[in-house]
Each structure stands twice: as C-alpha cells, then as structure tokens.
Amino acid sequence: MPMKLNLYAESNRLIYRPLQENDLEAMFELDSDPEVHRYLGNKPIVSREEAAQVIRFVQQQYRELGIGRWAIVEKETGEFVGWGGLKKVMESGFVEAPYFDLGYRLLRRFWGNGYATENAFASKQYAFNQLKSNQIFACAHQNNLASNSILKKIGMHQIGEGFFEDEPLFWYKIENEMKHA
C-alpha cells in the first residue's frame, strides 16, 4: 500500500491538484498540439479517447503509488495550465529504480510566464519534504532549451546522455541536502 499523501500543493501563482475526468478538453488541447510535442517524439494525439486514457493512467498511479503528475491551475483565473510534478518510475534502464521523475507540460498559451519554473521548484520541494525522497531525476531532449534551463535553474545537474526513441536526451539529478534516513 502506498503511503497516504495529500496530493495538493500550491506556489505563488499556481495550484497543484489531482488530474480529473473534466480536464479532458484541456488535456486534448495540450497533447494534440504539435508544438507541445516537438521535443517529445513528435507524436501528438488525435483523439479525445487518448487524452482520457492518459487521465485514467495517471489516476491509477495516484491509487497504486500514491503519487503522479498534478494538474496545474492558475490561481488568478482558475484555468487549467497543464500538468507537472512527480512520477514514480518503477523500472529504468538508466538509473536505479524506483525513482521520482520531475516533469511538466503546459498549454502553449501559458508558455513564457515562468510557470514551468515555478512548478519545478514546487515539485522539488514536495519530493524532498513530503515524499522524503533523497534524490530526484529528470530528462529533457538535448535541443529543448527551455526545459534544460528550468532543470538547471532548480539546481539539477547533468549526469549523462541517452536516447528515447532515437531522440538525444540529457539526464539530470539533484540530491536532497537534508537526507532522510
């Protein structure tokens, strides 16, 4: 049984809450946008059923692992901005699993406001303070300048290179300075 966690958090301008069924339209907008998928393998989704599957998949992770990516909501408007947060990865060919992966994906109209950076800082805090994790990992396409910049800005260090479906990645890691036993 996963430990019981409060899957809500917030930061200055954003609220983080579990993904829910009525995020479907926004999730479809997000994942059917070719620009959003530019550094994610260039395979945007084409149907709402695919978006519904993603929501169900993440909800299953909440139940089974006690954690999964959050929906990000703008405080000022209540609008869905995208998703971000932590995924518990149970198997990996690169780092020792299980581990927490930090990630984010925002609707294009919200880019350029510092929201992904704000979310990444909040995710790091949550991993270290709530999940009591001693380290977190992330990876980004080598050409994804915005994402690589965010990961470095929150203090992550490049630990290696790899490939995902023939696309070159940089791997990142950060250690919790206040290590838990």
Ligand X SMILES: CC(C)(COP(=O)(O)OP(=O)(O)OC[C@H]1O[C@@H](n2cnc3c(N)ncnc32)[C@H](O)[C@@H]1OP(=O)(O)O)[C@@H](O)C(=O)NCCC(=O)NCCS
Binding mask 102-141 for ligand X (x = CB under 6 A): --xxx----xxxxxxx----------------------x-
Q: Tell me the two tokens of residue 173.
A: 């890691």
Q: How many residues bind ligand X (CB under 6 A)?
A: 20
Would you say 92 or 132 has its CB closer to ligand X?
92
| Choice between 34 and 78, CB closer to ligand X | 34
SS3 percent helix, strand, coil of the chain, rounded to 5, is: 30, 30, 40
SS3 172: strand
Least distance in Å: CB of 118 to ligand X?
7
Choose between 67 and 150: whose C-beta lies nearer to ligand X: 150
Would you tell me the crossing angle of helices 115-129 and 145-153 to the nearest 10 degrees?
Answer: 40
AA identity, residue 11: S
Please state the closest distance from residue 57 (CB atom) to ligand X, in A: 17
Q: How many CB atoms lie within 10 A of CB 171?
A: 18
- Which residues, 142 to 171, sit near ligand X by CB under 6 A? 144-147, 149-150
Question: Nearest Cα to 119, choosing from 161, 147, 78, 88?
Answer: 147
List of residues contacting ligand X (CB under 6 A): 36, 39-40, 104-106, 111-117, 140, 144-147, 149-150
